[in-house]
Amino acid sequence: MSPRRLILALGLGTLTLAGIGGALRPWSVETGRAAAFVGGALEPYGLALTADGPAEVTLLPSPHLSFTRTRLASGERDGPVLIEGGRLTIVFSPLALLSGQAEIGSVALDGARIAAAGDPRWAAPLARLSERLRQGGGGHPHRIGLSNATIAGIGDDGDARDVAIDVAWPAWSSTLDGSASLTWRGARTSLTFAGLRPNDFAAGARTPFSATLAWPEGSIGAEGSAGLAEDRLRLAGRARLETRSLPATLAWIGRDAPLLPLSGAFALDGRFESDGRSATWQSLRVTVGGNVLEGAGSLSLAGPRASIQATLAAESLNLAPVLGALVRMFDPDTGARSASVALAPLTGGDLDLRLSAAAARAGPVLVQDLAASVLVRDGSVEVALNRASLQGGTLKGRVALQTSADDPAETEVRAQGALDRVDLGALLSDLGESRWLLGPTQGQFALESGGRDAAGGAARVGGRAVLAMENGTIAGLDLADVVHRNGAVAPGALARRNGRTAFERAAVTLRFGDGVGEIDEGFLKAPNLTATLRGRMSLPGRRLDARAVLNLREPGRSNAFEIAGPWDAVTVRAAVQGGIGPDAAQRGGEAVVPGPLQLPASLSLPGGARAFAP
């Protein structure tokens, strides 16, 4: 049967059976002639159909042809294959058939393998489709459906499987709506979109749209307008992204981001504009780990590395998640001192972040009026604390991390900072320690190190640190009374903690080399006594060994004390000097034992801070 006779038969059959309720059984037709019949309807779209299996025609409830083992090629039948396999069903417009024309009303394809949309083989058909839409061409399919399909090679690797697509563009409407679902890299993903005007889009005009994409770890939704300019997709509107795990989501799509191991749950909401592979947010609301920040930002995916710029502010910040991540990396009590500190996991993209907060809490420590910046580049991380108020004083600092040029697994560290008039007693109380030292404190440090892990870095610390206090007080202990008692403490004094030592100035200077800090200048000046401190602090060994000498101005008596032990068990004992020794307790008081003079339980991370670290 010739194609023309087939058209007439379908038309007459439709007219004859239009009033019959029910459906006719399909009957077989010659595959080649049926494909040639459909070819006239597909040719305007730059597609050619061939089929290896049988073809069937059915008139009711609507006239349609079905093909098996189909193949759709670009241009000619022997052109590049776009779609192969499966069962293709084409429904025709009954009115067009009566006039002897094959006009496609809807298309359904089941079980086929399809080339990805970005495949160069689609270039010619898409160009033909765009031209047809720009010219306002009618007669387009009103519905396109895919089921059980496979889309080959989405991204660098991996096929999308179990693809189901349903697109509706009714003849009476100028807008296109649709939905899709698929399984890619083991995750079931769904997409819905609505309001798109294909004719306007193809003509270069802007079209409204709304779309939602959901996957197991989160979702993204956007609404606004879309358009093409210089072959680049441009969007504008409002978008919201939510994910329970940003690292898992980015790993799923094969992307990386700066500081990724320190992130978790993430949400973004704001008004945006995009141009190709870059986007800007004029207003932005970001939620990270329970913190809510507002500001503006931009994202570029044009290069091999994601590039992010943002200026964000918050009323309050909880830095406990970041503190917890750093504790797990560097705190020896977690058993992770040998864990790698290579920067590669943290520098998977470029970041330029300006951050401010009215208040920020790092565990139990509260800082106010915070202004900071974070700069991430390939192989480097720089964090600057430009301004912060801490317990009545100010705090500033900067830490620069750089991947070693000789060993990518090694990280070089440079840190410097200063504090001015910080109430040390209040800070100790926040950290869960006794307020044994009171007064405004000043200090500064400049340190550098490097290594493959925390232990190696501790063994290479070098630099200088200075801490000083004026008009301060040692609470709980009267040092003059200790000297009068030949290095002993009055019975019960440590328990009562009713002693006090007021002083005019105290300072300590440490010079670090190879992880050991030499106390080359430590002193205390009080109205009735002076004290000196010498010794060393070992960072690799986590141990303190020092000697303090107390001198009464009147009547010129002195005592010496040995301060030694691991950081979590430092003891203070009277040194043998002028008949003074450990038996001093038998001569009028308690021996000097861990108490007001003992260091905090953990210099690396106080217990109060550790309790706030997840």
Taking alpha carbons only, the member of 463, 447, 468 closest to residue 397 is 447
CA distance 457 to 410: 9
Can you give 147-205 as a three-state secondary structure string?
EEEEEECCCCCCCEEEEEEEEECCCCCCCEEEEEEEEECCEEEEEEEEEECHHHHHCCC
CA distance 199 to 167: 15
Can you give 449-517 as a three-state secondary structure string?
EEECEHHHHHCCCEEEEEEEEEEEEEECCCHHHHHHCCCEECCCHHHHCCCEEEEEEEEEEEEEECCEE
Q: Which two tokens stand for residue 123?
A: 């270039």
Q: Which two tokens stand for residue 539?
A: 């960072």
Taking alpha carbons only, the member of 107, 91, 105, 99 closest to residue 11 is 99
Residue 36 neighbours by CB under 8 Å, 6+ apart: 3
Helix-helix angle 3-17:31-42, to 10 degrees: 90
Q: Which two tokens stand for residue 212?
A: 């939602």
Which amino acid makes up residue 500?
R
Taking alpha carbons only, the member of 468, 536, 537, 546 closest to residue 507 is 468
Quote the pLDDT of residue 24: 53
Taking alpha carbons only, the member of 375, 378, 418, 419 closest to residue 400 is 375
Chain center to CA of 412:
24
Half-sphere exposure at residue 529, Cβ-oriented, CA atoms within 13 angstroms: 19
Cα torsion for 215, 220, 224, 225, to the nearest 10°? -60
- The two beta strands, 218-229 and 232-243, are antiparallel
Residue 317 neighbours by CB under 8 Å, 6+ apart: 291, 293, 357, 359, 360, 361, 370
DSSP classification of residue 589: S
CA distance 572 to 584: 13
Q: Which two tokens stand for residue 177?
A: 């709506």
CA distance 446 to 456: 19
Average pLDDT per block of 10 residues along the chain, 614 residues long: 52 50 67 86 88 86 87 90 92 71 85 88 87 75 92 75 94 91 93 93 91 96 92 92 92 88 89 94 92 96 92 93 67 56 90 96 90 96 95 95 92 95 90 86 96 89 96 88 78 65 95 94 93 94 93 82 88 64 37 40 40 39
- Exposure pattern of 329-357 as b/e (b: 16+ CB <10 Å)? bbbbeeebbeebbbbeebbbbbbbbbbbb
Q: How many residues does the chain have?
A: 614
Quote the pLDDT of residue 193: 95
Helix (H) or strand (E) holding 611: helix 607-612
Contact 535, 516 (CB under 8 A): no
Can you give 220-266 as a three-state secondary structure string?
EEEEEEEEEECCEEEEEEEEEEEECCHHHHHHHHCCCCECHHHCCCE
CA distance 165 to 182: 9
DSSP string over 297-316: EEEE-SSSSEEEEEEEEEEE
CA distance 508 to 545: 15
| Other CB atoms within 10 A of residue 400 CB | 16
CA distance 543 to 566: 4
DSSP classification of residue 582: G
Quote the pLDDT of residue 580: 35
Contact 92, 104 (CB under 8 A): yes
CA distance 88 to 49: 10
CA distance 32 to 241: 50
